[in-house]
Amino acid sequence: MLTRLAGGHVIDPANRRDAIGDIFICDGRIVDAPAGGTVDESYDISNKIIMAGAIDIHSHIAGSNETMGRLVLSEQRAPWDGFHPGHFPRPAGAWNTFETGCTYAAMGFTTVVEPAVLPHQALQAHLELADIPIIDKATLTVLGNDDFLLNLLRRHEGGVAIRDYAAWTLSTSRGLGIKVINAGGAAAFKDNLRAFSLDDEVPEYGVSSRAIVKALQHAVHELRLTHPLHVHCNNLGLAGNVETALATIEAAENLPLHLAHLQFYGYGKEGPRGFSSAGARLAEAVNAAKSVTIDVGQVMFGQTVTISCDVLRQFNARNSARPKKWVICDGDSNGAGIVPYDYKATDFFNVVQWAVGLELFLLINDPWRVFFTTDHPNGAPFTAYPDILALLMDRDLRAEWMSRLPKEALEVTTLSSIAREYSLVDIAIMTRAAPAKLLGLKDRGHLGVGALADIAVYSPGNDKATMFREAALVFKNGQLVVRDGTVRHAPFGRTLRADPDCESGIKVRMRDYYEERYGLSPDFMMVVDSAIGRPDPFEIIPCLN
Amino acid sequence: MAEAWIRGKPAPLDDAIAEAANIVAGSRQPVIAGLGTDVAGARAAIKLARLVGGVVDHMHSDALLRDLGVMREAGMMVTMPTEAHVRADFLLLVGPGLIEAWQALPERLFAKRRIVWLCPDTAAGSAGAYENVTVVGDTPAELPAIVALLRARCVGRPVANPPIALATIDALVAELKRARFGVAVWSAARHDSLTIEMLCGLVNDLNAGTRFSGLPLASADNAAAVQQVAGWMTGYPLRTGFGRGVPEHDPWRFEASRLVDSGEADCAVWISAYGAWPPTWKRDVPLVALTGNPNTIRTHVTITVGRPGLDHDSVEHLAATGTLAAASARHPEAAASVASVLEKIITKLPAARPC
């Protein structure tokens, strides 16, 4: 069947297209204009904007930690309370897998990456992803606090062993890429350290955080994975932690490295409260380090819950929980912490955090290297995306927000001096073309011939938040799934994974290791396709040539 | 052997499924309870509840909600059974019911570490059977007071009239503080939520100086996994209803036994694939049972189902790892799974909605 989307404003930066035109869909892919064949179905999208489906590279949407977060915030609430959790502008039951897929799709998102899957808990993450409709998914596997890796480093076993181990773990956990979260920090916390920085060493192993990050960066590079090592740095959330972020950027040493939710590391120690924005300094460093990419982790005001495998950080933050309850888990490797939090527009620190995120968005000048995230749900739930896009595109709107925020806090930031506004092309790069490139998804993030027909059509208007909240039309694999912001059809997508070469020696070695350390076979951590409960649940993304 | 019965008489499976669908579809307030099943069965049960506006509850929800209550109201530090296995140098076993909850507990955690058991089961064969276990406290009834005493002495507070010698308490507190990575183990099936909250408070306080964590043992009948499925599919734990089109959670309102006994529910689907435990309600209600043993419950429709991981492939909560894990059937195809039966019932419902 041939479908024509006629007369829309095509914004497709990957193919340098920014003009009125038609897009044709056949069998789930974008095709050339037919040479005279008949069009079976046509949509008039004149006066509308058409982009590829958006891709979110970092959003905690599935896994045992997310479900723990759902359960911790599951007090009895009436649907009309509108609380659950925080400012989800939806009924009380909205924070579940089904609503996650539907809400993302309504905004024009068609691929989302769950960025923190612990290898032992990967099956649950994939089961949850399988219950999220419409969108395709992918996961990042967390390494860097695991005994096996730390031992390899302690014994100086070298790059090949680390690479084989990383490949084996990716393969058991069905991940697309590898993430490291406060490298060594969770292991150090088990030994009763309460602070951990880039050049600190994990007790017993004598391995520094820097050494772990570097080893994994090289392993990812040598495995030819499409996505660079995804780093959650040390010292998240602390005043003065910009030094850690700057040191980590420097440690990239011209090899690809992705730094997650950089906003949470953009803090200096200046000002009346000893807490200030270092956003401008950090943006300058990112601008200079061409091999580094970042996502922002924007904070927005309202109730949310922070869910993180940075167990040390979450432990230290537990007493500032709002409301006062929390769960801290000393896991097998990274562990996790669930700490509810209410970002307040009257709170000095929270307002600085909000401004730092916007500074990073606006002062990093290459939209191919800065990615759009709230670190859902840590900075804000993903339902806040449309409001953030509006803030980026409209300096008057920012000024209006700032007029209602405490001046004392804004004064330790540079936000009020920034005039830049994102264009629709910038938005399309940041949320479509660049994420596809960063993840190595060749047939996504653009509207060229051969691309997957994952397409979002928006009705432009003065209220940009509404435009991005309720897409006029969304197609997934060429199927119409959303019309006028409402889900019409909810098929289930697939999960994208890497398939690096996994040498057989490592399988034997890991079996011996699990038997010796845990008295168990590693079979318990294997994600097998048949356990997922949906046909053909995975799509393999080939490694780089 | 027959697989299905309608009003006590053997019936073809398809007829039983059609009859079950009729009963559920004709109900104004169905409850889907028991939920002793694997992950696929739980997914199908919640899907069915969403389609028919039903309520989901697990036979062990009381225990699940006691642990969850502490998380929802206060705070809890926990660890994984695997991490306790490799790291714990001190094990604080708390109260009765531990071996009952996890038979492999001694094998997995009792070797090579100091173990103190507070108020173990009075029944023979409990703590006394293990050489390296020191017992503090005589009966489970003393436990709440002993845990409270430990917490008070841990932060240096004075106490009056302790039920056991203060010197014993203080010596134990000193040991807890000396532990490098201590783990407190309990089973919510045998405690009230205030005792669990007090214990979790003690664990939190111990972390002021050292590392200590908790290990709540999972309830039987795959309850931990079913609670996770409910969490991700609905956003809530069990005792959640779909009567108003969106999931709502209320531990009192959506308790299956209360709904049936009060007459609010006019139909029940009872799922017990790990054994044929009967429902806890008293009133007769049109009942569809999916169970491993058809002879124990009086029903309108009974369909036998296999044991997950034995008769069919499954995903279940694994006590040794504290995670969901896949298991391959030892006798595949020996009996139907809960999921396959529920999916067939769903296809027989009038005007099924997509979900």
Put simply, the answer to whether B108 touches A519 (Cβ < 8 Å) is yes
On whether the CB atoms of residues B226 and B37 are closer than 8 A, the answer is yes
ipTM over 0.90: yes
Q: How far apart are CA A457 and CA A213, in angstroms?
A: 40
pLDDT at B189 over 80: yes
Q: What residue type is B280 in one-letter code?
A: T
pLDDT tens, residue by residue, A354-384? 999 999 999 999 999 999 999 999 999 999 9
In chain A, which residue's Cα lies nearest the Cα of B251? Answer: A76
Q: Which helix (H) or strand (E) holds A338?
A: strand A336-343
Of the two residues B254 and B123, the one the predictor is more confident about is: B254
Residue A85 has a pLDDT of 41
Put simply, the answer to whether B326 touches A531 (Cβ < 8 Å) is yes
Question: A523 contacts in B (CB within 8 Å)?
Answer: 325
pLDDT at A93 over 90: no
pTM for the model stands at 0.97
Residue B347 has a pLDDT of 97
pLDDT at A113 over 70: yes
pLDDT tens, residue by residue, A432-453? 999 999 999 999 999 999 999 9
Put simply, the answer to whether B246 touches A128 (Cβ < 8 Å) is no
Residue A82 has a pLDDT of 44
Alpha-carbon distances, residue B150 vs A508, B134, B166, B205 (angstroms): 46, 16, 10, 11
Q: How far apart are CA A208 and CA A201, in angstroms?
A: 4
Segment among A95-109, B254-268, B288-302 with least mean pLDDT: B288-302
Residue A227 has a pLDDT of 98
- The per-residue pLDDT of chain A, averaged, comes to 95
pLDDT at B46 over 80: yes
Put simply, the answer to whether A67 touches B250 (Cβ < 8 Å) is no
pLDDT at A79 over 70: no
Burial A401-430 (b: 16+ CB within 10 A, else e): bbeebeeebbebbbbeebeeebebbbbbbb
pLDDT at B355 over 50: no
* Mutation for A interface: B39, B236, B315, B353, most A CBs within 10 A: B236
Question: A120 contacts in B (CB within 8 Å)?
Answer: 80, 82, 321, 323
pLDDT at A84 over 80: no
Mean pLDDT confidence for B306-317: 96
Q: Which two tokens stand for residue A198?
A: 């880039």
Put simply, the answer to whether B320 touches A325 (Cβ < 8 Å) is no
pLDDT band for position B2 (50/70/90)?
low
Torsion angle in degrees (nearest 10) through CA of B186, B187, B191, B197: 50
* Mutation for B interface: A134, A332, A479, most B CBs within 10 A: A332
CB contact A488 to B (< 8 Å) = no
Of the two residues B332 and A188, the one the predictor is more confident about is: A188
Alpha helices in A234-294 (DSSP H): 242-251, 279-288
Residue A83 has a pLDDT of 42
Q: Of all residues in chain A, what percent carry a pLDDT higher than 90?
A: 92
pLDDT at B125 over 90: no
Q: What residue type is B171 in one-letter code?
A: A
pLDDT tens, residue by residue, B211-229? 999 999 999 999 999 999 9
Cis preceding linkage at A377, omega within 30: yes
pLDDT tens, residue by residue, B295-307? 667 789 999 999 9
Q: How far apart are CA B204 and CA B295, in angstroms?
A: 48
pLDDT at B74 over 90: yes
Name the minimum distance, in Å, from the CA of B85 to any CA of chain A.
7
pLDDT band for position B126 (50/70/90)?
low
On whether the CB atoms of residues B238 and B12 are closer than 8 A, the answer is no
pLDDT at A66 over 70: yes
Q: Residue A93 is nearest to which of B74, B246, B354, comparing CB atoms?
A: B246
CB contact A516 to B (< 8 Å) = no
Segment among A28-42, A404-418, A523-537, B147-161 with least mean pLDDT: A28-42
Question: A520 contacts in B (CB within 8 Å)?
Answer: 82, 320-321
pLDDT band for position A94 (50/70/90)?
low
Mean pLDDT confidence for A216-240: 98
Question: A71 contacts in B (CB within 8 Å)?
Answer: 68, 71-72, 227, 231, 236-237
Q: Which two tokens stand for residue B25?
A: 């579809």
Strand partners of residue A4: A24, A42
Mean pLDDT confidence for B59-66: 97
pLDDT tens, residue by residue, A267-321? 999 999 999 999 999 999 999 999 999 999 999 998 889 999 999 999 999 999 9
Residue B293 has a pLDDT of 79
Residue A35 has a pLDDT of 82
Residue A87 has a pLDDT of 37
Q: How far apart are CA A447 and CA B114, in angstroms?
A: 64
Name the minimum distance, in Å, from the CA of B105 to any CA of chain A.
13
Question: A305 contacts in B (CB within 8 Å)?
Answer: none
pLDDT at A78 over 90: no
Distance of CA A383 to the CA centre of its chain: 14
Crossing angle between the packed helical segments B143-154 and B193-206, to the nearest 10 degrees:
20
CB proximity list for B53: less than 8 A, separation 6 or greater: B29, B30, B241, B242, B243, B244, B245
Q: How far apart are CA A266 and CA A314, in angstroms?
A: 18
Helix H, strand E, coil C: the string for A5-39 is EEEEEEEEHHHCEEEEEEEEEECCEEECCCCCCCC
Q: Mapping DSSP to helix (H, G, I), strand (E, B) and coil, where does residue A501 land?
A: coil
CB pairs under 8 A between A and B: 170
In chain B, which residue's Cα lies nearest the Cα of A520? Answer: B320
Mean pLDDT confidence for A345-359: 98
Closest by alpha carbon to B223, among B324, B292, B339? B324
Q: Which two tokens stand for residue A330?
A: 């000393």
pLDDT at A131 over 80: yes
pLDDT band for position A149 (50/70/90)?
very high
Question: A97 contacts in B (CB within 8 Å)?
Answer: 232-233
pLDDT at A17 over 70: yes
CB contact A518 to B (< 8 Å) = yes
Alpha helices in A323-374 (DSSP H): 348-363
Mean pLDDT confidence for B269-287: 93
Mean pLDDT confidence for B156-180: 95
pLDDT at A208 over 50: yes
pLDDT band for position A76 (50/70/90)?
very low
On whether the CB atoms of residues A232 and A297 are closer than 8 A, the answer is no
pLDDT band for position B331 (50/70/90)?
confident
Burial of A461 (0-12, 13-18, 19+ CB in 10 A): exposed
Residue A80 has a pLDDT of 42
Name the minimum distance, in Å, from the CA of A268 to any CA of chain B.
28
Residue A282 has a pLDDT of 98
Name the minimum distance, in Å, from the CA of B157 to any CA of chain A.
21
Question: B321 contacts in A (CB within 8 Å)?
Answer: 120, 520, 524-525
CA B112, B116, B119, B122 dihedral sign is positive
Q: Residue B325 is nearest to which of A123, A147, A321, comparing CB atoms?
A: A123
Residue B44 has a pLDDT of 98
